[in-house]
Amino acid sequence: MAVRLFARWARLFRWETLRHCVGVEFGALHLRGGKGPLDGAIMGGGYLIYRICPLVMCPGVAAVLPSTSRLHSRLSPLVALVLLPSHAPVPPSSSSESAILPAKMPVRLVAADDWRPSSMTERRLLELEREGLLRHRTSLSSPEWIAPPVDHREPRPPKGYVVSFAKFHRHGLGAPPSRFMRALCHHYGVELQHFSPNTITVAAVFAAVCEGYLGMMPHWELWLHLYRGELFNAPTGTTGVRKAVRAGCLNLVLKTGKMERPHEYIPVGLSTNHAGWDSQWFYLRNDDDLLPAYTRRLITERPENWTYGVVQVHQSRLDPLLGVMKKLRSEGLTAALVLSAVHHRRVLPLMSRPLRMDEMAPGASSRDLEACRMSSEAPANDEVVASVRAAIAGDFKPEHVNGFPMRPDAGSIDLVCSPLVYSFDSEFLSTPFSKSAFVLAGAD
């Protein structure tokens, strides 16, 4: 009878009205599962806690009564209430004061700031072109890149163009983009402006490790094993309030948990000095629509697939690769040394090229080599050092330039790779993967 009276009273109020009338607080009370109108009760902190099933028009209501009170049998509408989600997690069976947990402060997301006006003039873009970071303009009607007009206070790229940033190209992005770069856009469901300088660096280092040291195209399952996507929102200075961002919302971070991915990969310490990067935007020609079109889309929630990994039954296929990665780490390979070798070769890891980095040998076609390199001139050590320091934290020294050569240069680590190795190009395995497919030279 008491439950029916309570349910009838509750139907007169919507959620918000009920909350304000009785001073509801949103909490993280955990209850044992059960059945019936009162589906569970635990003792905690001197209170008897009931959870009401869907007799009321709320996702779940817990009535909290002093355990010594006679009111708990009547469920009077005057009791204090705590609203619970209907899918409240089930706690361990032990009952203690810790059964009532403090609520985790929710984060409120507010609107993003407007775009910052672009600082990229034609003169600055020509400097990137001279450095080989942008393609030379060959068409007046459809140039490879366009400096934003002064009246474009926010990006308004012409049809067939996307929004790019100067730092992306300094950190390894090229045009046309590589298949691995396009796969990242597709898998995470993002546009180019959703990347940040650090996410470009992370992807470029991974691609360079696969090509230059493992002798294969970027390995998609290895990538999913190591990295997950996280959503970045900017701080506002107010606790519990964050701000959506128009550029750079995708963070790519090494996974942690039962298996510590940072110990399975080379050290990657990223720079935090990227002030003003989001004002260095310009328009990049999107050949054959290889990259997603610019739509001004804001991402305010992390999609579920950003954390996807490798299917468990396929996990063992990675063992040979992880063993080789462990070898490279033990030999001292770091992200800084990888980028040093990349800049020494004058290549952009995230650009479509006719040759992998390990195939850039003296016997290769001069035409293909020219298509791979940003410039035919060898860079000065100071130039390489500046580029590495801009992307990677730490005091990288000139004497470390090309200190860990890529294949097939003299001094490179001798690894043995067979055609059975799975790479990004082959999608999901079409040939068997075994430990004999990828082994350390000289290993048993």
| Residues 335 and 244 reside in one and the same domain | yes
Contacts 24+ apart (CB under 8 A), 133-141: 133/169, 133/170, 133/174, 133/348, 133/374, 134/169, 134/175, 135/175
* Distance, CA of 135 to CA of 133 (rounded, Å): 7
Q: What is the mean pLDDT of residues 346-357?
A: 96
- Which pairs count as long-range contacts for 323-329, CB under 8 Å and 24+ apart, including other chains? 323/440, 324/214, 324/415, 324/438, 324/440, 325/209, 325/264, 325/265, 325/266, 326/264, 327/413, 327/415, 327/440, 328/209, 328/213, 328/266, 328/413, 329/265, 329/266, 329/267
Judge if pTM exceeds 0.85. Answer: no
Are both 269 and 382 inside the same structural domain?
yes
Shared-domain flag, residues 319 and 394: yes
Same domain? For 278 and 194 the reply is yes
137 and 253 fall within a common domain: yes
- 55, 78, 104 — which closes off a domain? 104
Note whether 34 and 138 are same-domain residues: no
Q: Which domain holds residue 48?
A: 2-104
* pLDDT bracket for residue 289 (50, 70, 90): very high
pLDDT score recorded for residue 410: 80
Same domain, 96 and 178: no
Q: Total structural domains in the chain?
A: 2
Helices 381-391 & 335-345 angle (0-180, nearest 10): 140
Each residue of 74-130: pLDDT tens digit? 433 333 333 333 333 333 333 333 333 344 567 788 888 899 999 999 999 999 999
What is the mean predicted confidence (pLDDT) over 172-196?
97
Report the pLDDT value the prediction gives residue 79, as an integer from 0 to 100.
Answer: 34
Predicted confidence (pLDDT) per residue in 8-24, tens digit: 444 443 333 333 333 33
Q: Are 385 and 299 in contact (CB under 8 A)?
A: no
Whether 342 shows a pLDDT value over 60: the answer reads yes
